[in-house]
């Protein structure tokens, strides 16, 4: 069984040796040595396990991409208050951890990025009208990101992205916009209906014109046919008249079988002779 003196020596040894520190992937560290000057080492330690004396410690920074989401009440150019949710993504420069720690410290978001981010978002939103926020959102994101990058390019911090997650538009303005859009859609629908009606009327006129043209063409054809038939009949009659001479008619009369003939005496003047005109009939033969 350990005596009190041996237990005291063992505890003192453990205290001197310490437990060490583990740095996980995506992180880096700076060693703080209390009994040396300068106490903070400029060496940057990467992932792994590092044994430490009890009076020393490892200052660990997350060097992966990080993001912070904030709700900001902004004022638009037309003086409308709009609650907006925005996110900024950033990471510290791994190779500049010593400068970052000695000049700014581990609370760099709370002390630098956060306040600057809120200020720039409000400033940029104030340059745009309420009704233009939805269409100009990418412009706002790009401008805020550009200004943040310029602000922190010499502060060992990198801004990766700025995103507008949500804009809580003013209800009154939103309803007015919705009404305007609905009215515009109705007007466009009416315009389409008018165009359809005009096209239908044009089609009806075209069909009617086609029917009219067909009737006219048919009538002209029939009239032309009648004229042609009449002309043909007239030509035929003229030809017949040229051939129907008195001699031809006499010939045709004698040419008929079982025909009855009546002879009318003709005078020198070509008129039929009338015997005992106006007198009594001659006595009958006995």
pLDDT digit string, tens, across residues 18-70? 578 999 999 999 999 998 899 999 999 999 999 999 899 999 999 999 999 99
Torsion 11-31-111-72 (CA) sign:
negative
CB 136 within 8 A of CB 126: no
What residue has token string 């002879």? 263
HSE (side-chain half, CA atoms, 13 Å) at 241: 6
Q: What percent of the chain has pLDDT over 70?
A: 75
φ/ψ region of 116 (left if φ > 0, alpha if ψ in -120 to 50, else beta) reads alpha
The DSSP secondary-structure symbol of 151 reads: H
Element of type H or E holding 124: helix 114-125
Least confident of 75-84, 138-147, 152-161, 276-285: 276-285
Distance (Å, rounded) from C-alpha 216 to C-alpha 252? 48
Distance (Å, rounded) from C-alpha 89 to C-alpha 68? 7
Within 8 A by CB and 6+ apart from 4, the residues are none
Q: Which residues of 30-42 are buried (b: 16+ CB within 10 A; e: fewer)?
A: bbbeeeeeeeebe
For 147, the 3-state DSSP assignment is: helix
Cα distances from 35 to residues 40, 41, 58, 231, in angstroms, run: 10, 12, 14, 138
pLDDT for residue 140 = 96
First to last CA, the chain: 206
Confidence of residue 202 (pLDDT cuts 50, 70, 90): confident
- Over residues 67-99, the pLDDT tens digits come to 999 999 999 999 999 999 999 999 999 999 999
pLDDT for residue 263 = 62
Distance (Å, rounded) from C-alpha 234 to C-alpha 243? 14
Residue-wise DSSP of 185-244: HHHHHHHHHHHHHHHHHHHHHHHHHHHHHHHHHHHHHHHHHHHHHHHHHHHHHHHHHHH-
Q: Tell me the whole-structure pTM to 2 decimals.
A: 0.57
């Amino acid at each position: 069984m350990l005596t009190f003196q041996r237990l005291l020596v063992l505890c003192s040894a453990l205290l001197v040796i310490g437990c060490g520190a583990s740095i996980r992937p995506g992180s880096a560290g700076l060693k703080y040595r209390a009994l040396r000057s300068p106490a903070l080492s400029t060496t940057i330690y990467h992932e792994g396990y590092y044994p430490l004396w009890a009076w020393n410690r490892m200052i660990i920074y997350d060097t992966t991409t990080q993001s912070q989401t904030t709700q900001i009440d902004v004022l638009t150019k037309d003086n409308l208050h709009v609650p907006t949710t925005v996110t900024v993504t950033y990471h510290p420069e791994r190779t500049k951890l010593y400068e970052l720690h000695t000049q700014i410290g581990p609370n760099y978001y709370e002390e630098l990025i956060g306040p600057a981010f809120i200020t720039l978002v409000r400033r940029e939103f104030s340059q745009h009208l309420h009704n233009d926020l939805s269409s100009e959102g990418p412009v706002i994101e790009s401008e805020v990101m550009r200004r943040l990058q310029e602000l922190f390019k010499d502060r060992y911090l990198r801004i990766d992205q700025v995103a507008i997650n949500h804009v809580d538009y003013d209800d009154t303005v939103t309803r007015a916009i919705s009404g305007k859009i609905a009215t515009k859609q109705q007007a466009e629908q009416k315009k389409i209906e008018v165009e359809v009606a005009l096209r239908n009327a044009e089609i009806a006129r075209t069909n009617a014109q086609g029917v009219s043209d067909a009737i006219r063409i048919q009538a002209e054809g029939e009239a032309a046919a009648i004229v042609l038939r009449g002309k043909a009949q007239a030509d035929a009659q003229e030809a017949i008249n040229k051939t129907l001479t008195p001699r031809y008619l006499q010939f045709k009369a004698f040419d008929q079988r079982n025909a009855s003939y009546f002879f009318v005496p003709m005078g020198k003047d070509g008129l039929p002779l009338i015997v005992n005109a106006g007198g009594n009939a001659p006595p009958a033969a006995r």
